[in-house]
């Protein structure tokens, strides 16, 4: 079975500061990894995904994530937070042959002016 | 391109009542998913359709939940009878195919409150 751990349900970051959201996964087979963002009253939107190839993945809105197999991690970063980044962020995992997404509990990001 | 549509957006019912949710996926998307998102948790897959056939319903509480996707387009999720613990947001998603790397596109969800 595969699972995702996201620590810290609420994350506060100052405007202009680094955004770092941690994601660790558990999977017995090579994983496919995803980050989704959910704005209030909206559906989830894909930020970026890792399937194969380059381990540093760039997504929309200036976000990027790096797949580290040795650390079973896929942390999400953005160099400079913007007020519009306030939202809930979910890490998810699937694997070849099974596109069921297993989601973490999410991180609610608050951006402080 | 129109996104995934869901209705209603909000629903409040008494326990033991029945409720139904509707989803219209993105045009041409073969795969449709229903997720349950309880407050403070990530979405959990309830059922996955490929066209009008069920691919995975292993986490669907079949004693009270049912879903169908007639004609391989729209889908309906029903709860009968509802329990307090069914209070959640029900998300519908669709993807072009069922490959593991396909992006799933989510609708805005239906927020269900069971009193």
Q: Model confidence over A62-110: pLDDT tens digits?
A: 999 999 999 999 999 999 999 999 999 999 998 877 778 999 999 999 9
Q: Are B112 and B34 in contact (CB under 8 A)?
A: no
Cross-chain Cβ contact B42/A41 below 8 Å: no
Interface test with B, best of A101, A104, A105, A108 (most B CBs within 10 A): A101
pLDDT tier, A34 (very low <50, low <70, confident <90, very high otherwise): very high
Full DSSP string of B2-47: ---EEE-SEEEE-TT--EEEEEE--TT--EEEEEEE-TTS--EEEE
Rg, Å, chain A Cα set: 13
Return d(Cα A23, Cα A73) in angstroms, integer: 6
Cross-chain Cβ contact B100/A49 below 8 Å: no
Task: Choose the closest CB to B100 out of A32, A43, A90.
Answer: A32
Cross-chain Cβ contact A99/B107 below 8 Å: no
Q: Examine the pLDDT at B26 and tell me if it is beyond 90.
A: yes
Mean pLDDT for all residues in chain B? 93
């Amino acid at each position: 079975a595969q699972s995702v751990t996201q620590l810290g349900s609420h994350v506060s970051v100052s405007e202009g500061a680094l955004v770092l959201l941690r994601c660790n996964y558990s999977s017995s087979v090579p994983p496919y990894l995803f980050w989704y963002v959910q704005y209030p009253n909206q559906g989830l939107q894909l930020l970026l995904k890792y399937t194969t190839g380059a381990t540093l993945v760039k997504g929309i809105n200036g976000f990027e994530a790096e797949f580290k197999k040795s650390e079973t991690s896929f942390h999400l970063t953005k160099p400079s937070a913007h007020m519009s980044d306030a939202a809930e962020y979910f890490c998810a995992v699937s694997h070849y042959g099974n596109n069921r997404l297993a989601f973490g509990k999410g991180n609610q990001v608050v951006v402080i002016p | 391109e129109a996104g995934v549509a869901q209705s209603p957006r909000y629903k409040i019912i008494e326990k033991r009542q029945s409720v139904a949710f509707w989803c219209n996926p993105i045009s041409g998307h073969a795969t449709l998913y229903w997720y349950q998102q309880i407050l403070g948790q990530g979405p959990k897959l309830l059922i996955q359709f490929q066209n009008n056939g069920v691919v995975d319903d292993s986490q669907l509480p079949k004693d009270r939940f049912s879903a169908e996707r007639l004609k391989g387009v729209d889908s309906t999720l029903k709860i009968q009878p509802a329990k307090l613990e069914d209070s959640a947001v029900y998300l519908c998603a669709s993807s072009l195919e069922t490959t593991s790397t396909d992006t799933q596109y989510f609708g805005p969800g239906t927020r269900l409150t069971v009193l």
